[in-house]
Amino acid sequence: MNMNTVYSMNNVTAAAALVDVHAAEEGLRAVSTPGLTAENVDVYYGDTRALRDVSIDIYSKQITALIGPSGCGKTTFLRCLNRMNDVIDGCRVSGSITLDGEDIYAADVDVVELRSRIGMVFQKPNPFPKSIFENIAYGPKIHGLVEHRTDLEACVVTSLQKAGLFEEVKDRLHQPATGLSGGQQQRLCIARAIAINPDVLLMDEPCSALDPIATSRIEDLMWELKENYSIVIVTHSMQQAARVSQRTGFFHLGDLVEVNTTEKIFQNPVDPRTRDYITGRFG
Amino acid sequence: MRPNNKEKLRKRARAEWRFRSYGVMSLLFAGTALVFLVSTIVSSGHSAFFKTTIELEFQLDAERLGIDTPYTRENLWAGSYYTAARYALYTLFPEVTSRPNKRALSKMLSPGAELELRDYVVTQPGRIGETVTLEVPVSSDYDQLYKGHLPRTGKHTKLSAQQMEWFDWLVGEGLIHYRFNPGFLTGGDSRYPELAGIGGAITGSFYALLVCFLLSFPLGIAAALYLEEFSKDTRLTRLIEANINNLAAVPSVIFGLLGLAVILNVFDLPRGTPLVGGMVLALMTLPTIIIACRSSLRAVSPGIRQGALAMGASPVQVVFQQVLPAAMPGTLTGTIIGLAQALGETAPLLMIGMVAFIANVPATPLDSSASLPVQIYLWAESAERGFVEKTAAAIIVIMTFLILMNLLAVIIRSRTQTKVE
């Protein structure tokens, strides 16, 4: 199965060009060190085992895409990375996940601190029912990152600029964030997440509720954010994974079947299940 | 098209029309009942906001008033203003000389006349020695006669032909006035209908609602927050939840008995005070607030919780900084509706002794006091004709407060709805 058949089957030709760019970048980043490492991670919901023996390295300043059919455990895995599964009754995580060499599940780890280093953007835009300003300012405030009102204002503006939203909302910073469009809300959530300057940004299907134009804006944004953050994105869209990511992991029924450079996964997958999925035989 | 389709469509249209007309008819019925209710109350109650006064010239002669020098507060209070007030009336009718006639004539003055004259002299002792013109209230029967509530003939007539003749002469002379009666809204209850006010009851109800709010609002929110956000779903919490829902349906008189047995008899708090009334009303309002608060907490999108958690907020921060503020409008609406219910509750207040005749406006929630619904109950069973309009007016007052409170709830609700859009 070669590259061309994959993309013609998915009717996306533009993405093929991008993959070449990825290949070039991959060479440059060969020295990239893993920032976030998962080893032998198992997750149980009650008696059900949702993830089996997952090991993956998330390289810093790269985009790692997690793909796979619904219910395969990719979101569960993503939520392990900032311990969002802690709040679910009966959820148990074993194995080890380390951020810069420190086990994030160690007893002395403060979840609050951890989540300030690993930000998250959700599938459905979830702005707080407050003003645009308050949405961005919330994180810096609770983490005590700013002392003066002027610093806070500067932080809000910078975050909005980084998320490419500032120009659109600069005249209505103090109006409710719920009045923004879906795409704007999602970029607001990204701005909110990067306002506390995390090392890693987790994105759980950030574009699934958005139209193609808003989606492409978010993808452009991810491309820019990659310069400063490690990004993990869960996506249902293989084209999106191919367009934005440097590395891709394929999950199936709780197993991480295969993880490799995006190029290899899409051009030359090793596992037959990966090949079947990306060629559209199932999923 | 099948042949019988047209017939079917016609039938369906007719059924629809029938259903709509039932709806319109029930609306009309409810509307008429409401208009009837409101118009009856307003037509019989509006006159209680006005009083009939008589304009009299009082000679503030120290000797006649029986005031000793110096004009200290005690000396001024000790004056015989009753005599002075009657004397002022008698001078208008020099032809009335016999004792029985004088007595019949003096019935025209309300005891309020004496009190107003006294208050005037006490506050302005410098006027002693002058002749002043004051408007003082007439007694209830004349007041009712002037307002047209009392028949001039027939077996229900309260006044003699002679008394009415004197009064008519005064009306003809232009000495009888019809004035707005601020005392009705500010004063306390009285045995004399023309002097009875609802101020004491308003204040008592206000204090009781304040106590009720201060107790039930924080307690209700705390209980709702714990049940909804922090407690584990166990058999015990489910039992508690079911019982809270049941409590909302318990008849109010039972809460009154509980207050009597526990708050008055065990804790020995002062009987018949807004403090105790408010505590009992709080017991009643708690389930309403808990239920309202819980359902608004549940309505807060889980995305907001997740978002705040992912920002690194602690569970308590998530609840107090994001979830509770988002649930506040719904909680407030429920609270106001609960308080409006509490404002109209009569039975529990009867049980804890807020049914006594209290002529004072309570200064603190620890003073014995009347309350609006109980005041209506007390006036409604009074014999004097003058209390009929007072009862209706008190109903107008309590309805006004209820409408205002519900309006506030509607405003809060619509405000937040536009925000969400």
pLDDT in tens, A71-89: 888 889 998 998 888 878 7
Separation between Cα atoms, residue A117 and residue A189, nearest integer Å: 16
pLDDT in tens, B48-84: 999 999 998 888 888 878 887 787 888 888 888 888 8
Dist CA A208 CA B268 (whole Å): 64
Q: How far is B304 from chain A (nearest CA, A)?
A: 6
A193 and B326 within 8 Å at the Cβ level: the answer is no
The residue of chain A nearest to residue B314, with distances taken between CA atoms, is: A112
Quick check: A39 and A95 in contact, CB under 8 A? yes
Q: Do A139 and B303 touch (CB under 8 A)?
A: no
The minimal CB distance from B304 to the residues A126, A143, A196 is found for A126
Contact A189 B307 (CB under 8 A): yes
Residue B239 reports pLDDT greater than 50: yes
Q: Collapsing DSSP states into helix, strand and coil, what is residue B338?
A: helix
Residues of chain A found within 8 Å of residue B313, distances taken between Cβ atoms: 112, 138, 142
Q: Which residues of A touch B311 (CB under 8 A)?
A: 115-116, 119, 138-139, 142, 192-193, 196
Cα separation of A233 and A262, whole Å? 13
B253 lies within 8 A of chain A by CB: no
Exposed (0-12), middle (13-18) or buried (19+): which is A211, by Cβ within 10 Å? exposed
Residues in A touching B232 (Cβ below 8 Å) = 89
Strands A118-121 vs A200-204: parallel, antiparallel or unpaired: parallel
ω into B329 cis (within 30 of 0):
no
Q: Does A87 contact chain B (CB < 8 Å)?
A: yes
Is the pLDDT higher at A115 or at B67? Answer: A115
- At residue A210, φ and ψ (nearest 5 deg) are -115, 160
CA A259 → CA A65, A265, A274, B147, B351, distances in Å? 10, 7, 10, 94, 75
Partner A contacted by B308 (CB < 8 A): yes
Nearest Cα neighbor of A42 from A27, A28, A31, A54 is A54
What dihedral do alpha carbons B21, B23, B29, B33 form, nearest 10°?
-160
ipTM of the modeled complex: 0.79
Comparing alpha-carbon positions, the chain B residue that sits nearest to A81 is B310
Beta-strand relationship, A91-99 and A102-103:
antiparallel
**Average pLDDT of the residues in A42-48:** 88
Question: For chain A, what are the domain ranges?
Answer: 3-124+200-278
Distance in Å, alpha carbon of B193 to nearest chain A alpha carbon: 54
Q: Region B29-52: what's the mean pLDDT?
A: 93
Could you say which of B306, B311, B326 has the minimum Cβ distance to residue A138?
Answer: B311
Residue B150, classed as helix, strand or coil, is coil
For the entire predicted model, the pTM comes to 0.80
C-alpha distances in angstroms, B388 versus B46, B150, B157, B191? Answer: 11, 12, 16, 14
Is the CB of A192 less than 8 angstroms away from the CB of B301? no
Residue B153 scores a pLDDT above 90: no
Q: pLDDT category, B2, cuts 50, 70, 90?
A: low
For tokens 């118009």, what's the residue? B39
Alpha-carbon distance values, B351 to A235, B252, B272, B347 (Å): 66, 10, 9, 6
Q: Is A124 on the interface with B (CB under 8 A)?
A: yes
Residue A1 has pLDDT above 50, yes or no: no
* Cβ distance of B310 and A114 shorter than 8 Å: no
- At residue A33, the pLDDT reads 61
At a CB cut-off of 8 Å and minimum separation 6, what does A33 contact?
A: A59, A60
Are the Cβ atoms of B310 and A142 closer than 8 angstroms? no
Residue B63 CB coordination number (10 Å): 7
Domain boundaries, chain B: 47-180, 199-420
Q: What is the rounded distance in angstroms from the CA atom of residue B256 to the CA atom of residue B277?
A: 9
- Tell if the CB–CB gap between B310 and A120 is shorter than 8 Å: yes
CATH for A3-124+200-278, options being 2.60.40.10, 3.40.50.2300, 3.40.50.300, 3.50.50.60:
3.40.50.300
Q: A84 touching B, CB under 8 A?
A: yes
Task: Name the CATH superfamily for B199-420.
Answer: MetI-like (1.10.3720.10)
CA-to-CA distance for B295 and B290, rounded, in angstroms? Answer: 9
Q: Which residue intervals of A144-201 are DSSP H helices?
A: 149-162, 166-169, 182-194
When scoring B229, B233, B304, B311 by the number of chain A Cβ atoms within 10 A, the one with the most, hence best to mutate, is B311
pLDDT of amino acid A31: 43
Tokens of A267: 């051009």
DSSP state of A86: G
